[in-house]
Chain A
């Protein structure tokens, strides 16, 4: 019996990618550089000394940030990559589920593609003939089977791909985040099949960002970061460590607003993430805050308030005025939109910005900011600085993508789960950008105080009062 020997074994496995430096790619260039002794590669170690063992029937989850090396590990298991160092043992037939429909050819029919993909998985003619019908049945598309694949929807292709890849119970199954395709019934079918495999002793390795699935499905979890194993253990334990150690400030705090006395919620001004559910409403609201800026600051760019989806943001940047060489802070408030819309002049968010020069005789100064909004996806943004309005902006639904509204918001930084800036180009296409996400008040050496979030829109007078009251406290 093989039961006492591990089914999968990694011994100090390291994987190095090589990217040619300075981008030479041709024979002529190579020869020239060889003569000049300038040929060298940039090395990137995707895995650094990973070791673990799995037994038959284990369900092993691998979690970690993007770029941590999870896909590389799966590739080593699937024999797509050889380890640069160390040893890998895979005892048993290994079926990879790394991308459904990867080997499909659009011109061939479903039938022909099944045969092709089974051949890609290493099946011989006899096995293909035996298992063919069960593949067609499981994928639930028998009437399309003789149509060319280019006529299939992505859901159908995924179904076919899963069907082919799992037509025979493998001893080891490697899954890379493929289960989010297809309709709910089919997803359930896939999960059922995987569960049946597990029951019969298949060892399953699964990479996922869905920590819920990982926790319920796996009996062992590994947290991988920068190619190194951080911890291996019980799912709950590892997942908790992952959340807390990897990004401690990212665990959203929940505030029960029903117990509040006042009209607002006081947010902790030190790098916090909050669950938006009970405290934030996109239809109407106000944010007020005091921020301390200083003259000598060179970094100075910071996010003060940020909903997860970038629709409601308060941030600041420091610039030098070209004419006078004086530094100034640019405060910006954004409400109601997370998409830059091309408006003939330049791509812009629904924002209001204002310049603020620090008084000459001080180094540090407290500034009061207030932003109000009403309406979503149509509405108006009001921005106030030191009790006075500095701008108004009307926004409409063209500034919004179709993503659901934010479930979290952050103070003093951007939430790590921020998806990036989506920019709607004039021709209707989208580009994506993720500017430096290091802009926290900590990096910028700014300070926040009295960050208040209201579920209603305050009037200019009310805000002016708040400013004056707060000012008294300053002096």
Chain B
């Protein structure tokens, strides 16, 4: 019992439902207060993924590798376009795609499946999206190891341009967070959001030049690709490693605007609407 007496409990926690700060501010403050929870969710994700399976660690590495091998075999024969170092080309795309699709759909399903938790205890609901992004980043980092190994094996020119890649990942993470928050909000109101999003992801995958170079698309349809936000994020990630060059400033500007814009949209819709969730559980 000593701990109880030692703890000074004059806390400054004061909640007044009639005079709360703006929802976004409130959510950000809560997220900062609950940062340990984000850490716990991420670490739980990583641990449960790897704990009981010997293959766990290797699977994260193997998955994109196996896909890359299959795709390389198929497309370098079938499409008959020659892309130098196709394995690296496709690996970059796959690794980024896995991050994006897992982070966004994870953000949504983690929140949806935590109904029992949210019905019992208050936590800032954005922890799900944030920790999904966090888990995705760690998995991304781990899966970059074989990518670099293969790049070295294939004698790809590694230039200092790769130093910009962390920024590319950062911008994509921001965009993913915003998008994850947005679809999480939609999922509260529409029960079929999960399967719908899976279908959307499938289409999106093919609408992004991951397995094919953009030249393969006929001129008149190339504008479609340019309306795909992931095209920009993919480019600023892939180019430094694959081409050894820093992408054009315009790409950075567009990516930054997309990331920021998506974050604002996501933050706004999420914080203003997800209270509804508690009424519908």
Can you name the residue of chain B whose Cβ is closest to the Cβ of A168? Answer: B7
Residues A158-202 near B (CB distance < 8 A)? 167-171, 193, 196-197, 200
Expressed in whole angstroms, the minimum distance between the Cβ of B174 and any Cβ of chain A is 24
Q: Which of A27, A83, A107, A170 contacts B52 (CB 8 A)?
A: A107
Expressed in whole angstroms, the minimum distance between the Cβ of A362 and any Cβ of chain B is 57
Residues of chain B contacted by A15 (CB below 8 angstroms): 279
Of the listed residues B5, B40, B51, B192, the one surrounded by the most CB atoms of chain A closer than 10 A to its CB is B40
Question: Once bound together, how far apart are the Cα atoms of A324 and B128, in whole Å?
Answer: 67
Residues of chain A contacted by B149 (CB below 8 angstroms): none
* Cβ-based interface call for B18 (8 A): yes
Expressed in whole angstroms, the minimum distance between the Cβ of B27 and any Cβ of chain A is 13
* Cβ-based interface call for B82 (8 A): no
Residues of chain A contacted by B119 (CB below 8 angstroms): 75, 80
Residues B127-176 near A (CB distance < 8 A)? none
The answer to whether A92 touches B14, judged by C-beta atoms less than 8 angstroms apart, is yes
Interface size class of A (residues with CB under 8 A): 35 or more
Can you name the residue of chain A whose Cβ is closest to the Cβ of B4? Answer: A169
* Cβ-based interface call for B251 (8 A): no
Residues of chain A contacted by B118 (CB below 8 angstroms): 80
- Chain B 23-37: CB-based contact to A (< 8 A → 1; otherwise 0): 000000000011111
Expressed in whole angstroms, the minimum distance between the Cβ of A334 and any Cβ of chain B is 39
Question: Once bound together, how far apart are the Cα atoms of A94 and B13, in whole Å?
Answer: 9
Question: Once bound together, how far apart are the Cα atoms of A178 and B176, in whole Å?
Answer: 40
* Cβ-based interface call for A320 (8 A): no
Question: Once bound together, how far apart are the Cα atoms of A131 and B90, in whole Å?
Answer: 49
Expressed in whole angstroms, the minimum distance between the Cβ of A157 and any Cβ of chain B is 14
Can you name the residue of chain A whose Cβ is closest to the Cβ of B35? Answer: A124
Residues of chain A contacted by B122 (CB below 8 angstroms): 78-80, 96
* Cβ-based interface call for A298 (8 A): no
Expressed in whole angstroms, the minimum distance between the Cβ of B103 and any Cβ of chain A is 21
The answer to whether A102 touches B1, judged by C-beta atoms less than 8 angstroms apart, is no
* Cβ-based interface call for B15 (8 A): yes
Question: Once bound together, how far apart are the Cα atoms of A468 and B48, in whole Å?
Answer: 78
Can you name 9 A-B pairs with beta carbons within 8 Å? A18-B276, A26-B191, A80-B118, A81-B279, A93-B9, A123-B36, A169-B7, A197-B4, A200-B4
List residues of chain A with CB under 8 Å of any chain B CB: 15-19, 25-28, 30, 75, 78-83, 86-94, 96, 98-99, 102-103, 105, 107-108, 112, 115-116, 118-125, 128, 130-131, 134, 167-171, 193, 196-197, 200
Q: Which 5 A-B pairs have the closest CB atoms?
A: A25-B191, A26-B192, A79-B122, A119-B37, A87-B18
